Amino acid sequence: MAAFSSKLSLVLFLSFLFLHAAFAAIVCEDVPKNVCAFSVASSGKRCLLETSVAGDGSVEYECRTSEVMVQRIYEYIESDKCVQACGVDRKMVGISSDALLEHQFTAKLCSPACYQECPNIVDLYFNLAAGEGVFLPNLCESRRSNPHRAMSELLSSGVASAPVSAATTATAAAPYAV
């Protein structure tokens, strides 16, 4: 009985080690550059693709951890399906609300394929819009019913006037449950 107990303990210990290795944490600085944008670290912070200038003057891309926290999403690398459905670009550097001004982008963002199936991207743009005083569900609804009015409302909100701060985007909650 004692031999069985010690073997069981060893098997459980080894299983724990293998499980821990299999479920390693996501650290933005370790995420490959080609999937950095729209990824979320284990800490719940968004990963950002940033540029830096190398010693020889060439531009290099780096994946960095932002200060923007995501609610209810951790250890996440966005799928190619959602990147395509939402019309975003994995080569996007930084986080900006400027894309909300583009008619084609908001059409894809507000489409059922994106809005209902891609909570990570919707959460990001929900918070960017909120930082500019725009409620994304209202923008999507008005975009469906009157696209020109939606764009004029967005422009009058001041969305193009200044960049969104990390503190602003970190406070709003997305309109869905994950």
The predicted-structure confidence for 23-34, as pLDDT tens digits, reads as follows 579 999 999 999
Phi, psi dihedral angles at 59 (to 5 degrees): -90, 130
CB atoms within 10 A of CB 100: 22
Is 93:49 a contact under the CB 8 Å cutoff? yes
Query: What integer is the mean pLDDT of 54-63?
Result: 93
| Domain spans of the chain, in order of start | 28-169
- Which amino acid, one-letter code, is at 102? E
**Exposed / middle / buried, residue 49 (Cβ in 10 Å: 0-12, 13-18, 19+):** buried
Categorize the per-residue pLDDT at 144 as very low, low, confident or very high, splitting at 50, 70 and 90.
confident
Strand (E) or helix (H) holding 61: strand 59-69
Is 76:82 a contact under the CB 8 Å cutoff? no
For the stretch 84-126, pLDDT in tens is 999 999 998 988 899 999 989 999 999 999 999 999 999 999 9
Residues 18 and 26: their CA atoms lie apart, in Å, by 17
Rounded to a whole number of angstroms, the CA Rg of the chain reads: 20
Q: Is 63 helix (H, G, I), strand (E, B) or coil?
A: strand
Per-residue pLDDT, 17: 35
Judged against a pLDDT cut of 50, whether residue 18 lies above it is answered with: no
Categorize the per-residue pLDDT at 153 as very low, low, confident or very high, splitting at 50, 70 and 90.
low
Is 129:168 a contact under the CB 8 Å cutoff? no
Residues 70 and 126: their CA atoms lie apart, in Å, by 11
